[in-house]
Amino acid sequence: MNAAIDPAEPEIVLDAAGLSVAYGKVTALRDVSLKVRKGEIVTVIGPNGAGKTTLLSALIGLLPVRGELVYLGERQGPGRSVEKLVRQGMTLVPEKRELFAEMSVEDNLLMGAFDRYRAGHRDELETMDQVFDIFPRLRERRQQMAGTLSGGERQMLAMGRALMAKPKLLLLDEPSLGLAPLIIKEIFRTVARLRKTGVAILLVEQNARAALQVADYGYVLETGDLSLAGPSRDLANDPRVIESYLGLGGRG
Amino acid sequence: MELQIALLLGQDGITNGAIYALLALALVLVFAVTRVIFIPQGEFVAFGALTLASLQAGKLPGTVWLLLCLGAAIAVLESLRAARERCFRQIPLILLINCAAPLLLAGVLVAFSPATLPLPVQVLLALMLVVPLGPMIYRLAYQPVADLTVLALLIVSVAVHVTLVGIGLLFFGAEGSRTPAFTDASFEIGDTVLQGQTILVLVASALLIVALYLFFERTIYGKALRATAMNRTGARLMGISGTLAGQLSFTLAAAIGALSGILISPLTTIYYDSGFLIGLKGFVGAIIGGLASYPVAAAGAVLVGLLESYSSFWASAFKEVIVFTLIIPVLLWRSLKTRHVEAE
Ligand SMILES: Nc1ncnc2c1ncn2[C@@H]1O[C@H](COP(=O)(O)OP(=O)(O)OP(=O)(O)O)[C@@H](O)[C@H]1O
Ligand SMILES: [Mg+2]
């Protein structure tokens, strides 16, 4: 878009400016602006009900938005839809996982590649192998029904299924939700490793400590407004963040 | 009852039951994927049979006009949408699929007299005329209201059913048709005679059921339909839109309906409004399966066929009553089992 492209500056994948979302008359997000670059992990932290899920649902097109939204250099107009954004490489791992409970792990992963298959790609088996390399636990359980997986495995499957789409922008909604600390660590280690594949990640979390550790840049969302923003190291040392989100002994 | 009569009735019952089973599967599929109770399913049976009969009688089937009209309506709607979204490049393709293809088919029918063509070609032509009506009706009647409640969608179904029956009367007239048997072969087993057509119906139904099973278990599109039935939001996030799933399931339902009609048209006279009762019996089967289980629905439909056949012998005046009364104990039993199909 801009004439002067700084080679040191990776391209902007998502550029949202002044986004507002309302449920009927109730405004859930007010004037939110954020950027996500290629190969970057950006986190949005905030308490229950801050509007984090609303933000991600709006970005992927499940909810209508007001404001300016540019994805991969393309302004999103009235024809914006989940299906088109998925086709352009945006993928959401939803808070509720939304797995296909009565299908095997393998078939769930296959569904993640559905849109690529429809677009003519035939590399779903290789992609599945790569996903199994990232989450070896899923390989062991490839024939198991998704509905019978443990919470941690379910989150891995939800992420693996999203990766099957070879996303350019991965939206993660509270991957740590309801998981034990050890599994959370494992999941976040995986998120950090994904950065090397060049995918841009927008990570929404209540677990501010873990999120700020893995992210490059962070925003704080409070009841629909972005109250703070900055490189995650700075945020982790910000007294306001420490007091509200990191509690005692928070040291980035 | 003599054994021979019992066998004959059983043969009849199983043949009809196989057709009801196909329709029951289609109803379960459409409901699971789109939450639509597809009352017009039976109209596809009648249209399939009557279209084939028209072709064989050397007449231009009325379904051609329906295809052309629906195609034109969709072309207008889709072009307007494309223009609104500034995707003008889509318009030629929209016109090609919705206007040029039906016109081409109509041209073929006029150019070659279908009455002289071999039977498989006639069947193929009949399918090409009737099956596209499925996704077209989905596009026009259901897609704009896809998010409504099950009850509202049911009302849409009733409206579509009434409209299609009216269109059937307009295009095919009030007199019924019966096509000649596909095969004259018959087999004697002991004292009973097995008609070739009966065997054909059974084999074709069995093959179709196996094909459907393979489609759902082995192909990515079949799995996508199952995924939509299990979790609509999850499927959407994978790029499986409700529209795609809806059109796919309606195409399958239309194909199953039309094929059923073609298969039974040599066994019974089909009128423009015969589809409703046939479809309803499939529906009873589907209800036995709770509109959710494919195998139970198919088994239930075969049961309906047998019940109908034997009750027509014992109390022929009450045969429909007996079949449809079956729904009451089934509903009681299902409501006691309380495993409800989620209506969202
Ligand atoms: N479908 C809806 N209709 C009306 N209000 C809604 C709806 N979904 C969310 N809200 C409201 O919008 C606000 C933001 O909700 P949201 O789910 O985005 O919060 P969140 O930050 O994801 O919270 P959590 O951390 O608990 O997941 C809440 O006040 C919620 O009640
Ligand atoms: Mg949330």
Residue range B199-226: mean pLDDT, rounded: 94
CATH code (residue A76): 3.40.50.300
Say if residue A97 is in the same domain as residue A160.
yes
Alpha-carbon distance of B54 to B57, in angstroms, equals 5
In a domain, A177, yes or no: no
Give the confidence band of A1 by pLDDT, cuts at 50, 70, 90.
very low
Computed on alpha carbons and rounded to an integer, the radius of gyration of chain B in Å comes to: 20
Alpha-carbon distance of B330 to B303, in angstroms, equals 12
In a domain, A179, yes or no: no
- Closest Cα to residue A71, out of B234, A82, A228, A117? A82
Give the confidence band of B141 by pLDDT, cuts at 50, 70, 90.
very high
- Three-state secondary-structure class, residue B39: coil
pLDDT tens string A25-60: 999 999 999 999 999 999 999 999 999 999 999 999
Residue A194 has pLDDT above 70, yes or no: yes
* More confident call, B342 vs A152: A152
**Do B263 and B49 touch, CB atoms closer than 8 A?**
no
Say if residue A3 is in the same domain as residue A75.
yes
Say if residue A74 is in the same domain as residue A96.
no
pLDDT for res B225:
96
Say if residue A2 is in the same domain as residue A70.
yes
Say if residue A159 is in the same domain as residue A202.
no
Tokens of B170: 């307009």
CA distances from A154 to A48, A95, A136 (A): 22, 11, 13
- Nearest Cα residue in chain B from A110: B220
Among A166, A201, A222, the domain boundary falls at A166
Among A133, A166, A199, the domain boundary falls at A166
Give A185 Cα–ligand 1 centroid separation in angstroms.
26
Say if residue A6 is in the same domain as residue A75.
yes
Say if residue A40 is in the same domain as residue A65.
yes
Are A60 and B220 in contact (CB < 8 Å)? no
pTM listed for this prediction: 0.91
Give the confidence band of A250 by pLDDT, cuts at 50, 70, 90.
very low
Least confident interval from A204-213, B3-12, B63-72, B144-153: B3-12
* Residue B179: DSSP 8-state: P
Among A166, A197, A221, the domain boundary falls at A166
**Number of neighbouring beta carbons within 10 Å of residue A179:** 19
CA distances from A183 to A130, A132, A137, B267 (A): 20, 17, 12, 64
Maximum Cα–Cα distance for chain A, whole Å?
52
pLDDT tens string A119-138: 999 999 999 999 999 999 99
pLDDT for res A79:
82
Give the confidence band of B339 by pLDDT, cuts at 50, 70, 90.
low
Tokens of B269: 């006279």
Say if residue A76 is in the same domain as residue A138.
no
Contact list, B237 vs chain A (CB under 8 Å):
60, 82, 86, 91-92, 94, 98
Alpha-carbon distance of B250 to B152, in angstroms, equals 18
**Number of neighbouring beta carbons within 10 Å of residue B12:** 20
Give the confidence band of A163 by pLDDT, cuts at 50, 70, 90.
very high
Tokens of B297: 């629905």
Say if residue A5 is in the same domain as residue A77.
yes
Q: Provide the β-strand partners of residue B186.
A: B195
Residue identifier of the C-alpha nearest atom 26 of ligand 1: A48
**Do B273 and B168 touch, CB atoms closer than 8 A?**
yes
Alpha-carbon distance of A206 to B90, in angstroms, equals 43
In a domain, A6, yes or no: yes
Alpha-carbon distance of B143 to B138, in angstroms, equals 6
For residue A54 and ligand 1, the question of a CB distance below 6 A is answered with yes
Backbone angles phi, psi at B142, to 5 degrees: -105, -40
Range of the structural domain that residue A102 is part of: 90-166
Alpha-carbon distance of B248 to B292, in angstroms, equals 18
Residue B25 has pLDDT above 70, yes or no: yes
pLDDT for res B333:
81
In a domain, A209, yes or no: yes
Alpha-carbon distance of B40 to B65, in angstroms, equals 19
In a domain, A232, yes or no: yes
Give A45 Cα–ligand 1 centroid separation in angstroms.
14
Say if residue A79 is in the same domain as residue A198.
yes
How close A161 gets to chain B, by Cα (Å)?
A: 9
Ligand nearest to the CA of A220: 1
pLDDT for res A6:
56
pLDDT for res B1:
63
Q: What domains does chain B contain, in order, with CATH numbers?
A: 3-58+113-337 (1.10.3470)
Q: Which residue has the tokens 């399931």?
A: B249
Are A98 and B231 in contact (CB < 8 Å)? yes
**Do B279 and B23 touch, CB atoms closer than 8 A?**
yes
CA distances from A157 to A92, A94, A122, A126, B227 (A): 13, 12, 21, 17, 15
pLDDT for res A219:
96
- Three-state secondary-structure class, residue A121: coil
Alpha-carbon distance of A85 to A82, in angstroms, equals 5
In a domain, A173, yes or no: no
**Do A75 and B198 touch, CB atoms closer than 8 A?**
no
Residue range A159-173: mean pLDDT, rounded: 96
In a domain, A181, yes or no: no
Maximum Cα–Cα distance for chain B, whole Å?
72
Tokens of A83: 């299906």
Say if residue A77 is in the same domain as residue A94.
no
Alpha-carbon distance of B192 to B297, in angstroms, equals 29
Say if residue A72 is in the same domain as residue A98.
no
In a domain, A127, yes or no: yes
How close B342 gets to chain A, by Cα (Å)?
A: 14
**Do B10 and B243 touch, CB atoms closer than 8 A?**
no
Number of domains in chain A: 2
